[in-house]
A = this chain, B = another copy of it.
């Protein structure tokens, strides 16, 4: 076997183990019996131990050293070049970390999540604070081991958005914030209010399920190669080249939750299903970054699913599926209802415009926590202050404030900004697709979603990790990442609705 073939076969075997870990994780969250949790943790720990051993195998280091200077690595965007570069990147990162720190972080994050569940239920930040202290101290160590040039946050962000730099992300998010906050304010002062009560009528679960599945299939999620199940916290998980599982949850008193959740996860799934199957387990067949992943889910959820043309096609099916709830509702009223903007406390329930302000708040706070500029004890006060400043509202407690998200308890520091990056990428890609494909609206109104899906597949999915996210954006849209397309999209949609 040639060194490159050996490298690929080594990586594919690791990917088999990772895909098995995904099956175990999916089962844990969908169908596993209640009492089976402890042993499932043992199974997953065992597999992740095997993965770690393989991914830091000295033989892998030898192969990578041998191949890095080789002809195969010359074109960094070729499949071979990408495979060598990205596997080396992963290997180099992993071997920098002492085994004890990796284990300590795993342990602290398991304990952290348990403490978080209790603290959130009891609205008791004080009991969670020691865990925040511990977790930030550990990720700070992690950042030091990994190394960084400008900001320790760079080292953490890099896990979720490879090659991204904190300063660049901060710049684009600040530009977004500076235009978004006034837009939200103008909406609030417009005196108009979306007819959101439509969405809180009775939507029977069975009808939601078949309507949501049909929509997911219509936009291109392949149910021969995937499935949709119910979980409390929706997610998308790929566990093989032809096996992508998405989940949603049904609230009979609130239509958007399951429907847009399903479109969102289906968007993740379409990305996953659009990766090249023959490259499964290798970098050219893997997703670029969490931000790019999120751009796909957000595109189908918001830019497509909350588009008026989409509903020109789906509204008749909607009224047929929900006769009772849709009685007397016009397409225009419904369209406004699903695009209503109002500051709210809970990130996951936020509308398309204010959502990014929630993210910016977290991004700012976690940087300050990491550097120590914000003492752990001061988080609740800082949280409230930011919400007042950016959203004009203040949480009455910590449960609906700084305790609402799982991320910090799970040591996922650096994850939040990828949500907003996803929104930015999505708008920028969509603008370009619209220009290139000429009138997506007319296609949507006819129920044609394949052209957009194919465009995304060709331009984004099939490229795997051949380009870093920032380069991919430039390559596909001809422009560096900017807040402008998202602002154009929001102004274009919300301006007419709110008369601003």
Contact = CB atoms under 8 A, between A and B. Distances in A.
Contacts of A42: 16
Nearest to A38: B242
Contacts of A492: none
A44 to B, nearest CB: 9
A224 B46 contact: no
A20 B229 CA distance: 21
B241 A33 contact: no
A213 to B, nearest CB: 13
Interface in A63-107: none
Contact of A16 (B16, B43, B227): B43
Nearest to A229: B31
A443 interface: no
A170 interface: no
A34 B280 CA distance: 18
> Which interface class (under 10, 10 to 19, 20 to 34, 35 or more) fits A?
35 or more
A280 B35 CA distance: 15
Contacts of A13: 46
A223 B24 contact: no
Given A31-B227, A46-B13, A225-B33, A242 B23 contact: no
- With a 10 A CB-CB cut-off, give which of A20, A38, A47, A226 has the most chain B CB atoms: A20
Nearest to A42: B16
A245 B27 CA distance: 12
Contacts of A24: 20, 23
Contacts of A35: 222, 224-225, 242-243
A33 to B, nearest CB: 5
Contacts of A242: 33, 35-36, 38-39
Contacts of A32: 243
Contacts of A239: 36
Interface in A207-266: 222-227, 229, 239-245
A407 interface: no
A205 interface: no
Contacts of A39: 19, 240-243, 280
A40 interface: yes
Interface in A9-63: 13, 16-17, 19-20, 23-24, 27, 31-36, 38-40, 42-43, 46-47, 50
Contact of A33 (B36, B47, B227): B227
A239 B33 CA distance: 11
A222 B35 CA distance: 10
B20 A20 contact: yes
Nearest to A34: B224
A425 B224 CA distance: 44
Contacts of A227: 31, 33
A118 to B, nearest CB: 22
A279 to B, nearest CB: 13
- With a 10 A CB-CB cut-off, give which of A32, A36, A38, A224 has the most chain B CB atoms: A36
A31 B31 contact: yes
A239 to B, nearest CB: 8
Contacts of A43: 16, 19-20, 23, 240
Contacts of A23: 23-24, 27, 43
A83 B239 CA distance: 36
Contacts of A226: 33
Nearest to A47: B20
Nearest to A36: B243
- With a 10 A CB-CB cut-off, give which of A31, A223, A224 has the most chain B CB atoms: A31
A278 to B, nearest CB: 12
Contacts of A40: 240, 243
A17 B42 CA distance: 11
Given A39-B242, A242-B36, A243-B32, A16 B225 contact: no
Interface of A: 13, 16-17, 19-20, 23-24, 27, 31-36, 38-40, 42-43, 46-47, 50, 222-227, 229, 239-245, 280
25 contacts: A13-B46, A16-B46, A17-B46, A19-B43, A20-B20, A20-B43, A20-B47, A23-B23, A31-B31, A31-B227, A32-B243, A33-B223, A33-B224, A33-B226, A33-B242, A33-B244, A33-B245, A35-B224, A36-B225, A36-B242, A38-B242, A39-B240, A39-B243, A43-B240, A50-B50
Given A35-B243, A40-B243, 11 more contacts: A19-B39, A23-B23, A23-B27, A27-B27, A32-B243, A33-B225, A33-B244, A35-B225, A36-B240, A36-B243, A40-B240
Closest 7 CB pairs of A and B: A36-B243, A39-B240, A35-B242, A35-B225, A16-B46, A35-B224, A36-B242
